[in-house]
Chains A and B, each alone.
Chain A
Amino acid sequence: MTSSEGVAPSPEGVTRRRRARPGKVLAPYLLSLPAGLWLLAFFLVPLVVMLSLSLQTCNSGTGACVMTWHWGEFWSQLSLYHTQFLTSIYFAGAATIIDLIVAFPIAYWIAFYGGSRKNFFLLMLLVPFFVSFVIRTIVWEFILSDQGIVLGTLKNAHLLPQNFHILATGYAVVAGLAYNYLPFTALPLYVAIERIDKTVLDAAYDLYASKREAFTRVILPLTIPGLFAAFLLTFIPALGDYVNQQILGGTNNTMIGTVIQNAFLTNLDYAGGSALSAILLAIALVGIFAYARLLGSRTIEEYL
């Protein structure tokens, strides 16, 4: 490219240059090829296989599946497990809201007051998450056990009734989800807040805004795209989570992820499990599209 820079921009020169470089036209495609192949191999193909399986009828013994176009599978799975879907949406939603409330001050503080140690604080936020989340959840199971170091001590001090327990409740599941997905909320929020030009705050104060007004009318509106990105990044993985419920939950708070896992592993019911996964995917997609309509697709691309 640089060698041709010196050529006088004559009309012939332009046409010659364009003809000389078919690679220039292809470059963007070639650059996107690895990502495209990746998506094809690890997203599109499995997705199509999943959708295909959900319409087949399988023998769980031999593993033989026959395409029967059994659309009723979706309906029957939904009628069996709609409450588990609702529980998942409810738990994931509650955990996401908790995360937003917890993560916002953290992100705000690091972005505005972190100074030269911003990266250190961000690292501190992430360090616990270098350990597998299954292990961390099991540690919570240990910490929160009925006679464990926390509840046992409080019970012995007669600060809690003997039959009080946190494990095996929906609260424990929501708390586990909120704990495990916190970085997914905090990081996009941090990116959004970090981008705010600090001088707009001074401008707000110059215009006689109180601290609260400056926050609600300047900071918050500027972070809304980050809030939504954080919401999606937290809510969608939490929706399909199957670890927290199994480790921390009890009898009446099964999430859909567990049902799907059982369909595949306990029942070897690939058709049913695929149908449930497809429904879950549809719910997540509806969420994303609703968001895109609300804020425009550009903000998604910026923050996700």
Chain B
Amino acid sequence: MQDQHSPQSESNDSHIDPSIWRGMTQRRMSRRQMLRAAGTGAGALGVSAFLAACGVKGATVTGGSTPKPGGVGSPSWWAKQKLNHKVNFANWPLYIDVLKGKRPSLEHFTQLTGIQVNYTEPISDNLPFYAKIRPSLQAQQYTGFDIIVMTNNSPPLGYLINYGWLTPLDQSAMVNFHKYASPLVSNPSWDRGNKYSMAWQSGWTAVGYNSSLIKNPGTSVDILFDPKYSGKVGMMADPQELGSVGLLKIGVEPATSTESDWAKAAKVLQQQKSDGIVRAYYDQDYITHLKNGDTVVSMAWSGDIFQADLNSKYKDLHLLIPHEGGMFWTDNMCIPMYAQNPKDAMTLMDYYYNPEVQAVVEYYVNYVCPVPHAQQVLLNPTGWAAETLHALKPSIGLPFSTVANAATVFPDAQAVQASRPYYQYKSQEELTAWNNLFLPITQGS
């Protein structure tokens, strides 16, 4: 009786139907037993085999950067493709012209070509988006997107190219591109010959500062390391952005830097943090803190500063592209492998290199325009562009010439010269080494 804990004896005390008691108590007993059994059973069977069987499946990487004759992306393959009159376009949020809930440039495209565009904005960061489409690519399946937009300062674009997960573009269909693309984005260092990508928009990661509090900002990146602004300096949490500024600070070109340079840059950045100069490492919210006055000088993206300036409340915010260089990044349209509507995608991508179309987009988004000719369209719009620009004007409230003459939209020679490319990682090990140097700075405790 002592060692027998009988559930039935308990049920005698209760007024509830004994069968319910029995059921409940039995369930409890058996649950415990089951757990124990599961524990020992799994041990006997070997947890090892079980654990090893779970997890992420290995990828079969096809590799190969040149299309095989007749393979995907070769001229003969492209010749066989037909228009499906639909295209799935994945872009970043707030990155295209919008008027009363509609997107004029896309509607115009549909009118001209009869191709329906399913435009979505699922990309808010390169790596997480890459992680989302990767399983489909591994399984050699359609990702659901015919066009994706990836930044050249983050590893995924390189991964996609190296693993053969991008469809080589149809060079013969890039008529507008070859005619109008800016030298900043044609034949770029991250994709020689534009084999896989066409720029959507570009921008600088430079220095934003508040001119009401900083009268004499100088021309150097040193302003971010100035003890005068202790606790009022905003830095970016992204390891690629942070590391690149560190390299500029020690006077090294990021694109040609070596691992020992990275270590030196990390040391300078660590010092900047331990001296209490950095207030915090921010993501996209750095601009809020710069606007609120939490920071007086911050690493900043050119488009954000341009847009903040338009509001009279924040007209004291200015962009400084340091003489050491401003990191120049580009968001690139590419066609993922196994896309179902590649020809429609090519048509759309080249359509955006029409200066008239680009002028409309640029009037709305204000990043660095990949089509210099759009400047002339903005100054003297005609036809569809004029109509659309005038329709957009009330909601944007900006003279076309302001955008056309902005050096951060149509860069002058000086800005072009100050532009610096990011380091391109040659291997997984390099990226790990980079992150292991710069991530500990942002996530200190």
Footprint of B on A, CB under 8 Å? 1, 24-25, 27-29, 32, 48-49, 51-53, 55-56, 58-67, 69, 80-81, 83-84, 86-87, 141-142, 145-148, 163, 165, 167-168, 246-247, 249-255, 258-259, 262, 265-268, 270
Contacts and interface: CB of A to CB of B under 8 A. Distances in A.
A-B pairs with the 3 shortest C-beta distances?
A: A28-B23, A147-B293, A145-B292
Contacts of A262: 439, 443
Contacts of A63: 56, 59, 131, 134-135, 138
Nearest to A152: B293
Contacts of A25: 23, 26
Instruction: Tell which of A61, A83, A262 has the most Cβ of chain B within 10 Å.
Output: A61
A24 B23 contact: yes
Nearest to B135: A63
5 contacts: A25-B26, A64-B58, A80-B440, A145-B294, A250-B279
B124 to A, nearest CB: 11
Interface string B23-35: 1101100000000
Contacts of A163: 231
A253 B292 CA distance: 22
Contacts, number: 139
Given A61-B163, A83-B445, A49 B55 contact: yes
Interface in B12-58: 17, 19, 23-24, 26-27, 48, 50-58
A63 B125 CA distance: 17
A32 B439 contact: no
A164 to B, nearest CB: 11
A64 B54 contact: no
A48 B289 CA distance: 41
Contacts of A66: 58
A48 to B, nearest CB: 6
A52 B59 contact: no
B280 interface: yes
A251 B24 contact: no
Contacts of A87: 445
Interface string B57-76: 11101000000000000000
Contacts of A61: 155, 159, 162-163, 428
B55 A53 contact: yes
Interface of B: 17, 19, 23-24, 26-27, 48, 50-59, 61, 125, 127-128, 130-131, 134-135, 138, 155, 159, 162-163, 231, 238-239, 273, 278-281, 283, 285, 288-289, 292-294, 428, 431-432, 435, 439-440, 442-445
Given A61-B163, A252-B445, A247 B285 contact: yes
A141 B278 contact: no
A28 B26 contact: yes
Contacts of A249: 280
B55 A141 contact: no
B51 A67 contact: yes
Contacts of A69: 48
B445 A28 contact: no
B50 A265 contact: no
B439 A266 contact: yes
B292 A148 contact: yes
Instruction: Tell which of B159, B162, B273, B445 has the most Cβ of chain A within 10 Å.
Output: B445
Nearest to B165: A62
B435 A84 contact: no
Contacts of B159: 61-62
Contacts of B238: 266
Nearest to B49: A67
Contact of A254 (B27, B131, B288, B445): B445
Nearest to A85: B445
Nearest to A247: B285
A215 to B, nearest CB: 34
A266 B435 contact: yes
B380 to A, nearest CB: 42
Contacts of A147: 292-294
Instruction: Tell which of A86, A142, A145 has the most Cβ of chain B within 10 Å.
Output: A145
Contacts of B289: 145
Nearest to A26: B23
Nearest to A61: B159
Contacts of A266: 127, 238-239, 435, 439
B293 A145 contact: yes
Nearest to B34: A36
A52 B26 contact: no
